[in-house]
Structure 1
């Protein structure tokens, strides 16, 4: 490592900055394609935080299969985009609406 005098300091800093800029541009070009942040799975605690609900409430929603989730072994995972879409969808069909759809479907299938 060479010794830099006070007079050489501005040119040394300029060289250093240009090297850092070159390194940064190289890193941006060779950046590996990784999984986008939105597609990563989140835990039940993170899901509770995103939805502003308690963990117990999330467990209840999972038990009733009302919220999209994935289960591996004894752990629950959620996809953040699916969770946000579920929260935004808001309205759920009532049992009467589901029954009406089933009856309509069955009546058209019997004729065919």
Structure 2
């Protein structure tokens, strides 16, 4: 890094300020993500998150179709595990399937 002149100090300070703001936003986003990972939901909260009835949630738990934690008679759900479960059911597009087939045929 080249030394800068006295006249460049305001410009450099402005750049430094912008970078600090960007870092603050990244740190805040990471901390919110970490909080969400450990957030426990009860059945009602999980049903709202998934837009399913409580009865449907219970039936999915009985059939072991949904990630759940049980303590005594109560069941709990980790938000990040429910989101991962939802994403695991994503259907591939035609292009993605075609690319997968092409990759496999290269071997």
* TM-score, normalisation: structure 1: 0.48
User: What is residue 81 of structure 1 aligned with on the other side?
Assistant: 80
* Structure with higher helix content: 2
Cα RMSD (Å): 1.9
In structure 1, stretches of 5+ residues that fail to align are 1-34, 92-112
Q: CA deviation at 1:77?
A: 0.2
The number of equivalent residue pairs is: 58
Q: Could you say what secondary structure the match of 1:66 adopts?
A: coil
User: What is residue 61 of structure 2 aligned with on the other side?
Assistant: 62
In structure 2, stretches of 5+ residues that fail to align are 1-33, 91-107
User: What is residue 48 of structure 1 aligned with on the other side?
Assistant: 47
Q: CA deviation at 1:88?
A: 1.2
**Within 5 A, what are the aligned runs for 1:1-112?**
36-90=35-89
| Rg larger in structure | 1
Superimposed CA distance per residue, residues 23-47 of structure 1 (whole angstroms, 9 cap, x where no aligned partner): xxxxxxxxxxxx7233121101000
Answer whether contact 2:36 2:80 (CA < 8 A) is retained.
no
Q: Could you say what secondary structure the match of 1:50 adopts?
A: helix
* TM-score, normalisation: structure 2: 0.50
Q: Which runs of 4+ in 1 moved over 6 A?
A: none
Higher relative contact order (CA 8 A, sep 6+): 2
